Structure 1
Amino acid sequence: MKKLFSLLIVFISLSVFSQESINFEKGTFKEILAKAKKEKKLVFMDAFAVWCGPCKLMEKNIFPLQAVKEYYNANFINARFDMEKGEGREIAAKYGVRSYPSFLFMNGDGEVVMNSYGYMGEQAFLAMAKEANNPKFRTASNKELFEKGESDPEFLLNMMRLYADSDYELAKKVSERYFNVKKNESFTKDEVGLLLYFTKSTTDPNYQIFTAKKNEIAALMSEEIYNQFDTNIKISKVLENSLDQKTGIINDDYFYKNAIPLVGKDEAETALNRMKVILYPNLGNFTEYEKAALKYYSNADNFDPEELLKAAWIFSEHVSNPTSLKKAEEWAEKSVMRSENPENTYILAKLYSKTGKKDNAKSYAEISKKLAESQGKDATLADKLLQNLK
């Protein structure tokens, strides 16, 4: 009898222990999806990393709460995966998980119907689950619901965010319906940000919303910034059409012919050079990049020193013209004058070495090496430069 009583106590203890938190399944991702499909439930996935502080706080403070564990255990097939180990790596790549913790709700086919990230309190965590647990998501995918005309703003907002990275064109279509539904309401700053993100040309339906709400949007961001976005939108399509897809060269004549009537000569020239300094390094066309950067950064005081430093780095690697290198020195010097670090002092040293200023190059290479070593960073490049300067 005592033995039976002891076994009963153990059984009860194990039962209680198993309910101390959300009950996370132990199977593979494929098995978890199959179970969700069979039981006609959504999967709730806690996507975490072992080093993540907020992940640990969720596990310690939120998952064990009575209301939380009861709701999640009753309504979802719950799963946890370390995004940096085993299957977690594949899941992170497939679903674009970049922030921890990330919370994914998906149907049995593995389609995410809602996601969020970051530490949450009890009420927010429960509200998220209840929103995800909409019966519609168990009978149709969010794409199917959208195609059938679903126009609930919360649904559209969530879907917009879900597909912003993985399927921009779909997310853009969703945004157009969302902002059409909300056009007679006041926008938040976040909504304005989404509107701008999903507006690429003056023919976009979102652009009509953008212009109709000019005063409201300008009040949130300033009229100057509004006008800058307006300019970018107006000429974005022109820039796209100006680029020869085979050669990777922008047709200046075509661009100016079509952009100047839209934004004027000065704005058109600035926009063209801005596009070139973004595009040409990625295409490996450093000859054209050099020309564009010298024009675009001609008044260096108008630019952030870190942006100038990036240009200086590219010049130090790919440019040989002494006059151009002298200009790059000035850009790097602005960054160094703000605050010395291993990177900007090395770039400046390398530029000095290319323009024949050996003493200056040696001095800044030594500074770069010392800073790198004191900060536990790699000093190999600075050390190699010092060897070459001997």
Structure 2
Amino acid sequence: MISRSHKQALLSVLVATVLGGVVVADAVAQSRSADRSGERRNRGSNKPEVLYPEATREEPKAKSSSKMGGKLQKLFSAYNKQEFEETRTLADEIIANATANDYDKAVANQLASQAAYNLDDNAGAKQYLQQAITLNQLDNNGHYQALLMLAQLQLQDEQYDEGLANLDKYFAESKSNKPEELVIKGQALYQTEKYAEAIPVLKAAIAASSEPKDSWNQLLMASYAEAGQTAEAVKEAEALVARNPADKKSQINLASMYMQADQMDKAAAVMDQLRAAGQLTEEREYKQLYSIYANTENKEKDVIAVINEGLGKGILKPDYNVYLALAQSYYYSDQVPQAIEAWQKAAPLSSNGETYLNLARVLHAEGRIPEAKQAARDALAKGGLKNPADANKIINLK
């Protein structure tokens, strides 16, 4: 399984939030269509791009009320100057104005949502966006961009059911198949542990993009792994490495996928290549490599070499698990004195007396009786033994 911290790392680099720039530009164009200078600016090539040509929603023919023209101009001016507090104040005045029609209020809510977002008020932004959507007066560009942004903010705030429902509504009505938007849904499904559902969405996003981001492929790989489709996860990891052979992160992910597929020899080969190139620089990387060898037959000498190298470089911390793995590898490769030395370092760091008791048994087998008795006493003192009688037997040896 992919760890929670790994999930968060993946998710943190996947999708940038839509800030609604297109929404604002389109709203400005609509609101200014009534004034002559606005009409000149919006003729010909300056006409807003139709973002959703296949949308099922019939676009409203709404216009601003004549009484709100000046107030809307002030609102747009404040927003364009990035005066977000003022933008929000002016928008709230329009929303509360009895002479404002639904279109005026929809546009005011739209701009207020952008202002609230820029003021780090996600709750306020969501409220304004929902009101703009409910009023149903914006053109399709503005309406669907507002719906998409609302869904993203809900997902950011871990309102997964609401966010996914709005994403489904967005895709169903807008007919958008933009890869960067499909990835948002794939990410949300992954985050809610709906891995099997995330896979086809992510595949569609990658297929629809001329240059899919590596982070999308990493998310697809992780989804395959979590869904138990290990073979597919391995293929995806191999493809990532083929595209970016110099990327250490991709190599380590590939090694992890090989481990999950129980292909320890391949996992070891990947990590050893990194080790030979001097690219193993973090403790977890050395631990991953010695763990691969520890789970492979007849690789005790490799475990020893990796651990000693990591300790020598100061990358591996001399903790209980490191010394225990070292002791076991020495013991099973018939290097008993070195195994005893490693167990002597591991035992004081253990949470119970079992390691001391194992040390006592090995010392006894080697004929080092006084040391074996002391290790057995230390085992009892440490506590937590499954069979304290075993320690007493060694202590009572004649």
TM over 0.5: no
Larger radius of gyration: 2
TM-score tier, shorter chain, comes to 0.3 to 0.5
- TM-score, normalised relative to structure 1: 0.38
If each structure's helix is expressed as a fraction of its own residues, which one has the higher value?
Answer: 2
Where relative contact order (Cα < 8 A, 6+ residues apart) is larger, the structure is 2
Normalising by structure 2, what TM-score?
A: 0.37
